């Protein structure tokens, strides 16, 4: 008689929760380290979006036109939300990630060849759509392969790869932008396609569901009843606008202060370096605390940090503002990823993560208005960032945000 293989069961959640940082890192399954390597490569080559405002400015486009291109990218991300979440649950996390990364690389090459305003609008839309397809699948795969009590650490490890790649890539991107912007588009495309190949050959598919169970209607009904998720949805919707100002309005601020592009690149590179050094230890301090309050604290500091740019008369104040913002990011991001994984049913994770991605798409779409406001009255922009920080924190600390079991 053929014996059924016995798979070792993971230790109880209480035992996992008491693990040290080193024990948690050692216990991470192989897919986490594959994701770490892939996101490092991909984020190292994320050259185009951080420099898009400066590139289009050098091409002679106005603030309104640049805002329209960035908004087009955001609209692409918003409209792809429905497809990305369902595909992730239906055809598997790996397949969805691979499709998104390959088409994302192609969209960068198409944007490089754009020769008109309409060309930039179309290619930016494609880039936004493919970018949004990736994230729900990757976040869901993490939750599939890592037990709940290790997820904060797992998300911090992957973000370590993201920000280490960002720190190195931004420094390289600033150098390349001074030489020739074409290198940014080619490098961005090459690293996306490289990550797609890594995903295809080395990652598992993750959890899948049936066509019927992958529909959006039951998932939306479940989300609406899940008031903890609703509170997080609106908090994130506010908070993400502060993130995008660093690649839009702050980029202009640094150059308007009289500095070269590489100064902005080094400030943003330092953001990634700080996260790479400190985020994992900070996440260990936070993983035993109330996640709603931790995320609220982080979002508040993101708003405070962004608003401090309004005090800038030189690069040092912008740098200090970035440090405060980065503290908020390090506190909130790993915990928020694990929090959504815990709130979502296993076979709805793709759609839950897609709805979270929807907030990033809306924030991305609204963020270009910050550049227009910056040119009209920059003080109002930085004040708005402060109010956004307080507003996002308020969404998470009220009784309406508590989880109903």
Rg over alpha carbons for the chain, rounded to the nearest Å, is 20
Give the HSE-up count for residue 309: Cα atoms under 13 Å, Cβ half-sphere.
32
Rounded Cα distance between 252 and 259, Å, is: 10
pLDDT higher at 230 or 18: 230
The mean of the pLDDT values for the chain is: 84
Confidence of residue 210 (pLDDT cuts 50, 70, 90): low
Q: Within a domain: residue 178? A: yes
Mean pLDDT, residues 133-152: 85
pLDDT at 1: 43
Q: Are the C-beta atoms of residues 328 and 299 closer than 8 Å to each other?
A: yes
Query: Where do the H-state alpha helices sit in 203-226?
Result: 216-225
CA atoms of 316 and 20, how far apart (whole Å): 37
Number of structural domains in the chain: 1
On whether residue 21 sits in a domain, the answer given is: no
* 44-92 pLDDT, tens digit each: 877 787 778 788 888 888 878 888 888 888 888 888 877 877 788 888 8
For tokens 């998932």, name the residue: 219
Cβ neighbours, 10 Å, residue 373 = 17
The CATH number that applies at residue 321 is 1.20.1250.20
Cα 219 from Cα 282, distance rounded (Å): 33
CB distance 161 to 35 below 8 Å: yes
| Alpha carbon distances (Å) from 309 to 1, 242, 312, 317, 380 | 71, 11, 5, 7, 12
Residue 2, in any domain of the structure: no
Confidence class for position 12, pLDDT limits 50, 70, 90: low
| Residue that is written with structure tokens 């708003």 in the block | 303
Q: What is the pTM of this model?
A: 0.75
Q: Between residues 153 and 168, which one has the greater pLDDT? A: 153
Does 294 have pLDDT greater than 90? yes
How many other CB atoms sit within 10 Å of the CB of residue 65? Answer: 16
Q: Residue 225 is part of which domain span?
A: 28-206+213-401
Residue 10 falls inside a structural domain: no
Residues of the chain with pLDDT > 70: what percent? 93
C-alpha–C-alpha distance, residues 45 and 191, integer Å: 6
User: What DSSP designation does 9 have?
Assistant: P
Banded model confidence at residue 403, pLDDT cuts 50, 70, 90: low
CA dist 286 and 109 (Å) reads 41
Both tokens assigned to 230: 């609703």
Q: How far apart are the C-alpha atoms of 356 and 354, rounded to whole Å?
A: 5
Residues 139-144: what's their mean pLDDT? 86
Does residue 42 carry a pLDDT above 80? yes
pLDDT-derived band of residue 8, with 50, 70 and 90 as boundaries? very low
Q: How many CB atoms lie within 10 A of CB 192?
A: 26
Instruction: Classify residue 339: in a domain, yes or no.
Output: yes
Torsion, Cα 299 305 306 307, to 10 degrees, reads 110
Is residue 14 in some structural domain?
no
7 pLDDT tier (thresholds 50, 70, 90): very low
d(CA 192, CA 215): 29
pLDDT in tens, 355-377: 888 888 787 777 778 888 888 88
Residue 300 lies in a domain: yes
């Amino acid at each position: 008689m053929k014996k059924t293989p016995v798979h070792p069961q993971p230790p109880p959640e209480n035992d996992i929760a008491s693990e040290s940082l080193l024990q948690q890192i050692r216990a991470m399954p192989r897919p986490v380290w594959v994701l770490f390597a892939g996101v490092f490569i991909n984020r190292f080559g994320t050259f185009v979006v951080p420099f898009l405002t400066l590139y289009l400015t050098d091409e002679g486009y106005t603030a309104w036109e640049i805002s329209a291109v960035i908004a087009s990218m955001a609209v692409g991300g918003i409209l792809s939300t429905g497809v990305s979440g369902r595909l992730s649950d239906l055809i598997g996390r790996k397949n969805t990630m691979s499709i998104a990364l390959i088409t994302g690389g192609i969209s960068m090459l198409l944007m490089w060849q754009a020769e008109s305003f309409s060309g930039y609008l179309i290619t930016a839309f494609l880039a936004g759509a493919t970018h949004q397809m990736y994230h729900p699948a990757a976040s869901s795969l993490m939750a599939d392969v890592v037990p709940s009590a290790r997820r904060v650490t797992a998300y911090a490890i992957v973000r370590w790869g993201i920000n280490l790649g960002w720190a190195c890539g931004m420094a390289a991107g600033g150098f390349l932008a001074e030489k020739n912007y074409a290198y940014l588009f080619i490098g961005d495309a090459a690293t996306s396609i490289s990550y797609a190949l890594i995903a295809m050959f080395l990652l598992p598919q993750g959890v899948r569901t049936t066509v019927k169970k992958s529909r959006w209607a039951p998932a939306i009904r479940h989300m609406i009843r899940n008031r903890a998720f609703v509170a997080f949805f609106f908090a994130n919707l506010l908070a993400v606008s502060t993130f995008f100002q660093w690649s839009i309005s702050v980029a202009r601020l640094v150059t308007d202060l009289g500095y070269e592009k590489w100064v902005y690149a080094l400030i943003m590179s330092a953001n990634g370096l700080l996260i790479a050094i400190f985020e994992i230890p900070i996440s260990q301090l936070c993983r035993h605390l109330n996640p709603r309050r931790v995320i609220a604290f982080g979002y508040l500091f993101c708003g405070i940090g962004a608003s401090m740019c309004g005090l800038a008369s030189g690069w040092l104040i912008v740098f200090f503002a970035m440090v405060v913002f980065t503290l908020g990011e390090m506190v909130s991001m790993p915990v928020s990823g694990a929090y959504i994984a815990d709130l979502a049913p296993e076979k709805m994770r793709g759609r839950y993560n897609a709805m979270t991605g929807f907030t990033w798409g809306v924030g991305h779409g609204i963020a270009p208005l910050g550049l227009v406001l910056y040119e009209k009255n920059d003080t109002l922009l930085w004040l708005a960032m402060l109010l956004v920080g307080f507003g996002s924190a308020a969404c998470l600390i009220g009784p309406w945000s508590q989880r109903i079991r």
